[in-house]
């Protein structure tokens, strides 16, 4: 009888020890699922859609227009170009590092986007002949091309289960090309300078917010809004939304 009682006690102790090793009985599985860690290095790719408004002077092509010498008896009038606008999509990549304290997540991120915006502004005028008769049109345009922009951001977020809402601010630089065109009909008799193109480095700042969502393992999705302002001799503002897919290592 005593042997049977001793055997039962040994079996019970072994069963209890094995059960204690199961993670779902200790709560390890639940904690790992509901509170994923955002700590560490991450990287990913993104696509964007947005709009740009560039403040171009109405007389931006005045030097080209002044070089035109109209035919005898003809006078050129020119239209104003005004604000340049464009909607466009883009693509890019991001990489960064998060540091987490309980639910607070602070990080730094490098972000690159190839928007390839071509903000266009147009002006139409008239060529006036004898007796104020219209003898042809004039045309002037300016296209501000904002192609690439890279920035360094500081992020702050609050981890809620597998979701990380965050805000960010940053600064960066990119490239800009200004293309100008002026034409008239009938064509000028001399000094027919009709096109010009110039490129330069631009700089600016960025701000916005978004949500990172854990999908499985280290894989996460991203939805983000960004406001960006770039400056050079012209100011441009860009509003865009982005979708991204990243991996936390």
* Arithmetic mean of pLDDT, 198-207: 91
Beta-ladder partners of 240: 50, 226
Contact 193, 214 (CB under 8 A): no
* Arithmetic mean of pLDDT, 208-219: 95
Residue 37 lies in a domain: no
- Residue 13 pLDDT > 80, yes or no? no
Judged by average pLDDT, the poorest of 98-112, 116-130, 161-175, 205-219 is 116-130
Residue 23 lies in a domain: no
Residue 162 lies in a domain: yes
Residue 135 lies in a domain: yes
| Residue 193, domain extent | 44-248
Residue 109 lies in a domain: yes
User: What is the share, in percent, of the chain residues with pLDDT greater than 70?
Assistant: 85
CA atoms 215, 245, 203, 232: torsion sign: negative
- Residue 219 pLDDT > 60, yes or no? yes
Residue 185 lies in a domain: yes
Q: At 67, is the pLDDT very low, low, confident or very high (cuts 50, 70, 90)?
A: confident
Neighbours of 21 (CB within 10 A): 8
- Residue 23 pLDDT > 50, yes or no? no
Q: Which pLDDT belongs to residue 35?
A: 67
Contact 242, 48 (CB under 8 A): yes
Question: What is the number of structural domains in the chain?
Answer: 1
Q: Which pLDDT belongs to residue 214?
A: 95
Residue 19 lies in a domain: no
Q: At 156, is the pLDDT very low, low, confident or very high (cuts 50, 70, 90)?
A: very high
Residue 30 lies in a domain: no
Q: Which pLDDT belongs to residue 84?
A: 87
Q: Exposure of 101 by Cβ count < 10 A (0-12 exposed, 13-18 middle, 19+ buried)?
A: exposed
């Amino acid at each position: 009888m005593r042997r049977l009682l001793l055997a039962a006690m040994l079996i019970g102790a072994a069963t209890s020890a094995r059960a204690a090793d199961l993670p779902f009985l200790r709560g390890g599985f639940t904690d790992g699922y509901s509170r994923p860690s955002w700590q560490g290095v991450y990287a990913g790719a993104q696509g964007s859609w947005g709009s740009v408004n560039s403040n171009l002077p109405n007389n931006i092509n005045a030097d080209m227009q002044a070089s035109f010498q109209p035919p005898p008896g003809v006078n050129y009038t020119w239209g104003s170009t005004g604000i340049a606008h464009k909607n466009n999509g883009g693509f890019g990549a991001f990489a960064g590092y998060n540091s987490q304290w309980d639910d607070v997540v602070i990080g730094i991120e490098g972000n690159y986007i190839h928007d390839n915006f071509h903000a266009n502004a147009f002006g139409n005028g008239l060529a006036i002949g004898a007796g104020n008769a219209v003898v042809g049109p004039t045309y002037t345009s300016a296209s501000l091309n904002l192609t690439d922009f890279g920035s360094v951001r500081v992020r702050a977020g609050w981890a809620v289960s597998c979701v990380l809402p965050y805000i960010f601010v940053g600064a960066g630089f990119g490239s800009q090309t200004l293309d100008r065109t002026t034409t008239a009909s009938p064509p000028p008799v001399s000094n027919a300078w009709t096109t010009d193109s110039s490129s330069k480095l631009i700089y600016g700042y960025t701000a916005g917010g978004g949500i990172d969502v854990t999908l499985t393992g280290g894989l996460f999705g991203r939805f983000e809004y960004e406001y960006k302002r770039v400056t050079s001799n012209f100011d441009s503002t860009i509003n865009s939304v982005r979708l991204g897919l990243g991996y936390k290592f």
